[in-house]
């Protein structure tokens, strides 16, 4: 099969992904083989490819926002009929037995596997996944519209839940890429007032188009104190600025899997019961709840589509903030 794979982590400017033939996988018991239609390009892919996340597999096929159709089923896999359109996300599998899994916190599993990182992902014509970790995709979404929902959407939704934001409250977004442009649609559906801080004028314009009350520069102070804020950008220097924007008792959520160092800051920024909380991965319930809600709203993703062979170009565009919304690879027609 055709795939884009990484042999050695390197800066995306060096175009490290190789496009070529790769062995087609076979589904084991309880697994499904999925013929990939599209795969979203995520900032986490950048962290994998550039080595900011320690390598787990070499070579590895990145990609964890996969939309495709069931091509074959392993022994005992009966959840989805052949031909069903499904989605595959970042959380590939958990051990199901550790204390976190037993407590319903499988996103914190002690021995997880991740799609496109510790197992091969969706920058390929086919991939396999345990059927229990595969999602049904609401019919309202075309393939390319559905792909960003599977990580940007799900993680954005978990960030919203962790923020404990309510109708008529003020919520700040720091960074306005794939996750934020989906999360704002959920927040506005809930009646939340959104303020967007992002460095790129095109992203500021998109935020206003999607209903932001205000959009300004990354480190600018919004015109009103915020009840909560979510940092989507992987830049630690944003944290003090975001804390400064919060009211007393405000909640700051860090939505990235990787972030540069957070600089020291005065205790007064955290004092008065402000809270900082990270978000790690997602549970399957997060995915199921979000996809159901996204179909009801319905969420509309802004996408730029690239052919699979141009994955390096898509990643370079993402790194340089040249994507308005989300990048998606077209794998099979």
CATH number, domain 153-278:
3.40.50.720
CA–CA dist 255, 231 (Å, integer): 6
- Cβ(41)–Cβ(143) below 8 Å: no
What is the Cα–Cα distance from 30 to 76, expressed in whole angstroms? 5
**CATH 3.90.180.10 residue ranges in the chain?**
2-148+300-330
Q: What is the pLDDT of residues 162-198, one digit of tens each?
A: 999 999 999 999 999 999 999 999 999 999 999 999 9
Instruction: Give the model's pLDDT for residue 211.
Output: 98
With a CB cutoff of 8 Å and minimum separation 6, the contacts of 104 are 283, 285
Kind of pairing between the strands at 126-130 and 31-41: antiparallel
pLDDT band at 333 (very low <50, low <70, confident <90, very high): confident
Residue 305 pairs in a beta bridge with 328
CB 230 within 8 A of CB 152: no
SS3 at position 150:
helix
Place 219 in a pLDDT band, splitting at 50, 70 and 90.
very high
Give the Cα separation of 282 and 319 in Å (integer). Answer: 24
Under 8 Å CB-to-CB from 306, ≥6 apart: which residues? Answer: 41, 313, 314, 327, 328, 329, 330
List, for residues 198-213, the tens digit of each pLDDT value: 999 999 999 999 999 9
Residues of the chain with CATH 3.40.50.720: 153-278
* Residue of 318, 321, 247, 315 whose CA lies nearest to 62: 315
* Spatial distance between the Cα atoms of 212 and 195, rounded to a whole number of angstroms: 6
User: How far apart, in whole angstroms, are the C-alpha atoms of residue 22 and residue 36?
Assistant: 14
The rounded radius of gyration (Å) of the Cα atoms in the chain is: 19
Q: What global pTM score does this model have?
A: 0.95
Q: Write the CB contacts of 208 (distance below 8 Å, at least 6 apart in sequence).
A: 196, 215
Answer yes or no: are the C-beta atoms of 229 and 249 closer than 8 Å.
no
Phi, psi of 238 (to 5 degrees): -75, -25
Q: Which of 294, 301, 331 is CA-nearest to residue 314?
A: 331
Q: Is residue 228 within 8 Å of residue 250, measured between CB atoms? A: yes
Calculate the alpha carbon distances from 69 to 42, 121, 151, 288 in Å. 21, 15, 18, 18
| Percentage of the chain lying above the pLDDT 70 cut | 100
pLDDT, tens digit, 9 for 90 and up, residues 63-87: 999 999 999 999 999 999 999 999 9
Count of CB atoms within 10 A of residue 330's CB? 18
Which superfamily does 2-148+300-330 belong to?
Medium-chain alcohol dehydrogenases, catalytic domain (3.90.180.10)
């Amino acid at each position: 099969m055709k795939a884009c794979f990484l042999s050695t982590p390197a800066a995306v400017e060096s175009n490290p992904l190789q496009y070529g033939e790769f062995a087609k996988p076979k589904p084991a018991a309880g697994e499904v083989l999925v013929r990939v239609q599209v795969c979203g390009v995520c900032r986490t892919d950048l962290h994998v490819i550039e080595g900011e996340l320690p390598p787990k597999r070499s070579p590895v096929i990145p990609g964890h926002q996969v939309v495709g159709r069931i091509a074959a089923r392993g022994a005992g896999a009966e959840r989805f009929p052949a031909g069903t359109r499904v989605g595959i996300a970042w959380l590939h599998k958990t051990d199901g037995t550790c204390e976190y899994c037993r407590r319903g916190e499988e996103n914190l599993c002690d021995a997880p596997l991740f799609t496109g990182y510790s197992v091969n992902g969706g920058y390929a014509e086919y991939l396999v996944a345990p059927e229990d970790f595969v999602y049904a995709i609401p019919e309202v979404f075309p393939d390319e519209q559905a792909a960003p929902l599977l990580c940007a959407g799900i993680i954005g939704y978990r960030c919203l839940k962790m923020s404990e934001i309510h109708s008529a409250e003020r919520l700040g977004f720091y960074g306005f890429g794939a996750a934020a442009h989906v999360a704002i649609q959920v927040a506005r559906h809930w009646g939340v007032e959104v303020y967007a801080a992002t460095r790129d004028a095109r992203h500021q314009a998109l935020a206003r188009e999607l209903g932001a009350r205000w959009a300004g520069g990354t480190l600018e102070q919004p015109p009103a104190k915020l009840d909560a804020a979510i940092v989507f950008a992987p830049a630690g220097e944003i944290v003090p600025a975001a804390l400064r924007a919060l009211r007393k008792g405000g909640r700051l959520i860090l939505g990235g899997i990787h972030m540069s160092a957070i600089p020291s800051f005065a205790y007064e920024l955290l004092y008065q019961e402000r809270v900082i909380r990270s978000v790690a991965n997602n549970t399957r319930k997060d995915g199921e709840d979000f996809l159901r809600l996204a179909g009801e709203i319905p969420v509309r993703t802004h996408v730029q589509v690239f052919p699979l062979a141009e994955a390096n170009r898509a990643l370079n565009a993402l790194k340089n903030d040249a994507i308005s919304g989300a990048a998606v690879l077209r794998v099979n027609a």
